[in-house]
Amino acid sequence: MRITSASVKQTKEIARGLAKYLTAGDVVALIGTVGSGKTIFVKGLASGLSCRRQKVTSPTFILMRQYRGRHEVYHFDLYRLKDIHQLEQIGYEEYFYGDGITVIEWADRIKKALPRQYLRIEFKIKDDRTRLLKFIPKGRHYADNLRKFQGKKDTVPQKYPSHSK
């Protein structure tokens, strides 16, 4: 599934819409170059889950920030990840396989550490205001929920040029 976003606001709305279809333990992997909208998307997702930013309490914040809302959200940003050991040190598996929702920027840097099933979202810069978002479900759980998200018209208002699969 592909959705074109024509503004920051739309990217947040799309993420807020998707948030309704995330369930406990879900993992969302965000892939895309610098400035393609991954963090903006996470903000929308967190807002869709009624999250508030937690106080930073430990050095893990460099790689992971935790928010609490309808679910706990573990927001990983792996841009500065040196190697997988750094992730192991913060016990990433407890998060990836925990009951919260894990969302990972630069997830392509840890391909081997990703769970077998997850929702992959690829971000492409079309022009200064336009981003192309490609949703790729890995596994049935994500395919099912993505279909529900896609089928729900209010999540992707008509004004978004929405492409077919």
Ligand X SMILES: Nc1ncnc2c1ncn2[C@@H]1O[C@H](COP(=O)(O)OP(=O)(O)OP(=O)(O)O)[C@@H](O)[C@H]1O
Per CB under 6 A, which region of 21-29, 56-64, 93-101, 126-134 contacts ligand X? Answer: 126-134
8 Å CB contact between 126 and 133: no
Nearer residue to ligand X within complex by CB, 37 or 100: 37
| CA–CA separation, 136 and 150 (whole Å) | 12
Q: Does 47 bind ligand X (CB under 6 A)?
A: no
Q: Does 38 bind Mg ion (CB under 5 A)?
A: yes
Q: Does 39 bind ligand X (CB under 6 A)?
A: yes
| CA–CA separation, 88 and 156 (whole Å) | 37
| CA–CA separation, 92 and 64 (whole Å) | 9
Q: How far is the CB of 151 from ligand X (least distance, A)?
A: 23
Which helix H or strand E contains 147, and what residues bound it? helix 140-151
8 Å CB contact between 69 and 103: no
Q: Does 126 bind ligand X (CB under 6 A)?
A: no
**Strands of the 27-32 sheet, one edge to the other:** 2-5, 131-138, 118-125, 27-32, 101-105, 72-77, 64-68, 52-53
Nearer residue to Mg ion within complex by CB, 101 or 107: 107
Nearer residue to ligand X within complex by CB, 6 or 25: 6
Per CB under 5 A, which region of 24-32, 38-46, 59-67, 122-130 contacts Mg ion? Answer: 38-46
Nearer residue to ligand X within complex by CB, 35 or 139: 35
Q: Does 7 bind ligand X (CB under 6 A)?
A: yes
Interface residues with ligand X (CB under 6 A) are: 5, 7-8, 10-11, 32, 34-40, 79, 105, 129-131
